Amino acid sequence: MYSYPLLLRQITVSDPFWKREMDLVKESVIPYQWEALNDRIPDAAPSWWMHNMRAAARAIAARKAGKYTPAQKLVPIVTELEKGKPALSDAFYGWAFQDSDGYKWLEAVSYQLMRCPDAALQAQAQEAVDAICAAQEEDGYLDTFYTIIDRSKAFTNLKDHHELYCFGHLTEAAVAWRQATGQDTLLNAARRFGRCISERFGPGKERGCPGHEIAEMALFRLYEETGEKEWLDLACFFLDVRGTEPSTFALEENRRRKEQGLPELPVTADRYAYYQAHRPVREMSEAVGHAVRQMYLCSGMADAARLTGDKEMLAASKRLWRSVTGEKLYVTGGVGSTHDGEAFSRPYDLPSDTAYSETCAAVGLVFWARRMLQLEPRGQYADVMEQALYNTVLSGMALDGKHFFYVNPLEVDPSACDTDRRLSHVKPERQKWYGCACCPPNIARLLSSLPAYMVTVSQDTAFIHLYIGCEMTVSLNGEELKLKLDADLARDGKASLTVLSGKANGKIAFRIPAWTKNAAIGSDGKKKTERDGYCILEGEWTRGDTVQIDFPMPVRLLAASPLVRETSDMLCVARGPFVYCAEEADNGKPLHTLRLIPEKAAEARVDRISIENRDVPAITIPGKRIKADPDAPLYDDWTTPQAYDTDIRLIPYFAWNNRGRGEMRVWMHRM
């Protein structure tokens, strides 16, 4: 009934655009991030990852030897550090969730090793695995923050500290590492930590759930990898305890308040919307709070619906999908429009200049969309997955693989960012490494596992969701087929699927992208039906069978729903899966005086531009520019604006800010 993603080894990406991205991760991002995890990048914020792992191992050894004294409190240590004192070898530094950075890196490495073995890289990763295992306590507990600072406080602040979050990332890495290397070491570490958690939390035990979700989806994955039902149960427990009353977060807060002699707060859930713990998940219908958390929760909910057949969970997942994609999604596939809490704002509040649109939230949306596709293959899920992937996810990383955006605005004026504290979260240039470096390794692990998002297979059907050129081995009704997909959407919408070898009876379903019209899919003698956004070809597939695909990819002008106030009467340009933007480098400034002319869309010219030695698609479209005279009165009787003809030069959104500082703009007014 349900579909499963192809295993990474079943698929080899050959697509010129995406292979380059995946290679970049391998050749640039992963080595760079290893240096970052080891605090060896000059002029970048330290990660402290390896430091903390080693300090935790030392703390454990010292405790065994009876020589452990709880480390100094966190804040004074950091203050000392700011005063220029050297780091203390036994102290914890950085954010409480910093352990996860290395886990994400290790997950990415694992996927790359599945793509292509690499002994040197594997040895480097083994160093990380060893460091992690050495930091695990005897009872399985594995979180350097509490191990270093004060183990007795473990699990007392699930809301704000991130043990369960780190557990989730550890588990994701552990499953990937086993799949890549066949080694159980890290998986066993994750299991031991998991048991340490499940001994404390669960039905009849302590109530509690992650302040930052991810443990849910990780536990479902651990269950799928090991078949051990305890992980499924723990994940379902975390989902169902969430948002119920008495609120576990409120109870936690009250325990702390009691220690401080403060009066207790009501144990209602309503003040925990930031954590999606304001109501039971089965009752949710609006995406709220911290966007990454919401995306990870939704991913876990979709897993639960699939693995348990829970209809309520499915219905809630679909309501949340509707809330996000119908009311709260940027055209670039970004989510979370306000910096206040890195969060979802109210419906249709999608400002361009103050956007948050965190890279990690777009990554999370891709995770969730794939899981919805596993629940039910509907084109809309893949459309949104593609939208996030080709635009905001890629925008998070520079073409050099060494600079990253955390926030992905749709409109930037660097001089405003420099001086306006309302824009303090918007960086006009990608940064080298963040103190809170969640995004770079999240991009790395997603891009390295791209095949898992491209195709899913059920008993009798292979669903092709993304048109990324590749070779793949699929099984239809137990019979294997080797297929080759030729595609390069960064050029055009022509593609073909060829059976390289094998023979099977069954269906291959081709997603018809929402961005095309008059899609042509050569049926080649197969029975052809259409359903839920897929063109399904059914029959016997044998070597040499070829399906010709033509998705016309004209330059499109998109408009947002009139309910989106900020983009009223504006247009943006898209072609295929790419959303385009104008940059100051090509168009001068200010960009807001440019005007698109709907009638001229047909005159748009598509060509290529070289940015950072990379050949990317570009569009030139005849437009207008409003004449702006700084000496004219600030307000005057309206007259038809004076405008002159100009070519508007556009590049894909993901490629912006690879040519230095400058204005950038996705949405443009129309003439």
Binding site for a second copy (CB under 8 A): 325-327, 329, 331, 338-340, 345-346, 349, 354, 415-416, 419-422, 556-565, 568-569, 571, 590, 592-593, 598, 626-639, 641, 669-670
CB of 527 to a second copy, least distance (A): 30
Q: Omega of the bond prior to 590 within 30 degrees of 0, cis?
A: yes
- The yes-or-no answer on residue 438 being catalytic is yes
Backbone angles phi, psi at 151, to 5 degrees: -55, -30
d(CA 499, CA 305): 34
CB of 57 or CB of 560, closer to a second copy: 560
> What is 428-497 written as a DSSP string?
SS-BS--SS--HHHHHHHHHHTTHHHHEEE-SSEEEE-S-EEEEEEEEETTEEEEEEEEEETTT-SEEEE
CB of 82 or CB of 636, closer to a second copy: 636
CB of 571 to a second copy, least distance (A): 5
> What is 181-206 written as a DSSP string?
H---HHHHHHHHHHHHHHHHBSTTSB
As given in the structure block, the two tokens for residue 398 are 């520079």
Q: Omega of the bond prior to 246 within 30 degrees of 0, cis?
A: yes
CB of 648 to a second copy, least distance (A): 15
Which residue shows structure tokens 């029975």?
A: 527
> What is 350-405 written as a DSSP string?
--SSS---BHHHHHHHHHHHHHHHHHS--HHHHHHHHHIIIIIIHHTB-TTSS-B-
SS3 207: coil
Q: For residue 305, count CB atoms less than 10 angstroms from its CB and return exposed for 0-12, middle for 13-18, buried for 19 or more.
A: buried
CB of 597 to a second copy, least distance (A): 11
CB of 55 or CB of 560, closer to a second copy: 560
CB of 148 or CB of 350, closer to a second copy: 350
CB of 656 to a second copy, least distance (A): 18
d(CA 169, CA 186): 12
CB of 45 to a second copy, least distance (A): 25
What amino acid occupies position 81?
L
CB of 298 or CB of 355, closer to a second copy: 355
Strand partners, 548: 496
CB of 119 or CB of 634, closer to a second copy: 634
Backbone angles phi, psi at 616, to 5 degrees: -120, 155
CB of 57 or CB of 385, closer to a second copy: 385
User: Catalytic one among 438, 439, 470, 535?
Assistant: 438
User: Catalytic one among 21, 137, 252, 342?
Assistant: 342
CB of 573 to a second copy, least distance (A): 10
CB of 424 to a second copy, least distance (A): 9
CB of 180 to a second copy, least distance (A): 38
d(CA 189, CA 191): 5
CB of 657 to a second copy, least distance (A): 19
CB of 289 or CB of 441, closer to a second copy: 289
CB of 43 or CB of 636, closer to a second copy: 636
As given in the structure block, the two tokens for residue 206 are 């302590």
CB of 189 or CB of 591, closer to a second copy: 591
Q: Taking a C-beta distance cutoff of 8 angstroms, is the pair 332, 653 a contact?
A: yes
CB of 529 or CB of 568, closer to a second copy: 568
CB of 229 or CB of 421, closer to a second copy: 421
CB of 662 to a second copy, least distance (A): 16
CB of 407 to a second copy, least distance (A): 15
Cβ density class 194-228: b for 16+ within 10 Å, e for less: bebbbeebbeeeebbbbbbbbbbbbbbbbbbbbee
What amino acid occupies position 94?
G
Question: Taking the CA atoms of the chain, what radius of gyration do you get in angstroms?
Answer: 25
Residues 6+ positions from 113 with CB-CB distance below 8 Å: 121, 122, 125, 180, 181
Kindly report the number of other CB atoms within 10 A of residue 270's CB atom: 13
SS3 229: helix
Cβ density class 67-77: b for 16+ within 10 Å, e for less: ebeebeebeeb
Q: What angle do CA 564, 570, 576 make, to 5 degrees?
A: 95
> What is 583-610 written as a DSSP string?
EHHHH-S-GGGEEE-GGGGGG-EEEEEE
Strand partners, 521: 549
| Catalytic residue positions, numbered | 342, 438
